Structures are given as C-alpha cells and as structure tokens.
Amino acid sequence: MISCFKQVKITEIATAVFIILYTYTAVNKIIDYRTFKLALVQSPVLVNHANFIAITIPIVELFVVGLLVFSNTRAMGLFFSLILITVFTLYISCLILFARELPCNCGGIMKALSWKQHLLVNIILIVLAAWAWIIAKTNKNIIAINRNS
C-alpha cells in the first residue's frame, strides 16, 4: 500500500508532467500551425480531417491543462490526459505498423526521438496517467487531507 504522502506526490508529479507536456505541445502547434497542419495532411490516416484536427487538438490540450490546474477538476483532467495520450499512442502504432512512409515527426524537443522512441515515451505516459487518475479518483480528498495535516 502506498502512503497518502506518496499518492499525493504521484498525482502532483503526473499533473505537472501533463501540464508541461500539453501546454508545450499546444503552444508549439499554434506557433508552428503550418508545419503541424502539413504533418496531418501528409498522414495517411488523418488526411481527410487535417483541418478539423489541426484546430481541435491544441484547443483540447489547453482545455485539459485547465482541468489539471484546479484540484477539483484534476481527476477529470488526468482521465482526459489518459484518453489523449492513449489515442495518440494508437495513432503512432498504426503509423508504425501500416504506413508506407511516416510523416515528419513532432516539432520541438520530441523531434529528436524516432517514432519507436516516441511510442515508448507515450506508453510510459499512459502508465503515469492511468496510475495518477486511479489514485485521484479513488482518493478525491487526498490532497485536501494531506494539506491539512
């Protein structure tokens, strides 16, 4: 059994990781919108929905950041983080398995990773999001209890 203190730390670390990740990726997509949209157009899976996805994804990422920032919506934010990272991981998996040519990789710091390395990072993030979400949803008062001690 993990102590209350450790559970709080796990959720705080996961929350910080996802706030940084989604803020960074959303801002990067907005700043370099053309490159992001071009990558979507070049994707064999998303080509028909590139315009919609190019607008929607940064908005959704920033919405999730908003949920993560506030303690009363944090569990929901962790749940949506889990969904987002899982969907993106499934997308990467499909590309790796079925695409003849892979579109250009992410921008920013993730650009240095190969698609397989990116997949591994995402799997780790899925585990982190799931773990933190389970802790947050089963112990909704954990942060308030810990701060009052």
Residue 50: Cβ-neighbour burial (10 angstroms; 0-12, 13-18, 19+) = middle
Q: Which of 3-12, 53-62, 82-91, 125-134 has the lowest mean pLDDT?
A: 3-12
d(CA 110, CA 50): 21
CA-nearest of 85, 89, 74, 66 to 134 is: 74
- Measured CA to CA, the distance from residue 136 to residue 128 in angstroms comes to 12
pLDDT at 106: 59
| pLDDT tens per residue, range 110-136 | 677 888 888 999 999 999 999 999 999
The pLDDT assigned to 72 comes to 92
**106 closest CA partner among 126, 92, 93:** 92
Residues 6+ apart with CB under 8 A from 2: 10, 135
Query: What percent of the chain stands above pLDDT 90?
Result: 55
Grade residue 140 by pLDDT with cuts at 50, 70 and 90: low
Residue 149 pLDDT = 41
| CA separation for the pair 15, 11 (Å, rounded) | 6
For residue 15, is pLDDT > 60? yes
CB 78 within 8 A of CB 68: yes
Straight-line distance from the first to the last Cα atom of the chain, in angstroms, rounded to the nearest whole number: 19
- Tokens 């070049």, located at residue: 42
Q: Write out pLDDT tens, residues 74-102.
A: 999 999 999 999 999 998 898 888 877 76
Give pTM, 2 decimals: 0.85
Query: How far apart, in whole angstroms, are the C-alpha atoms of residue 64 and residue 62?
Result: 5
Report the mean per-residue pLDDT for the chain: 87
Give the Cα separation of 140 and 73 in Å (integer).
10
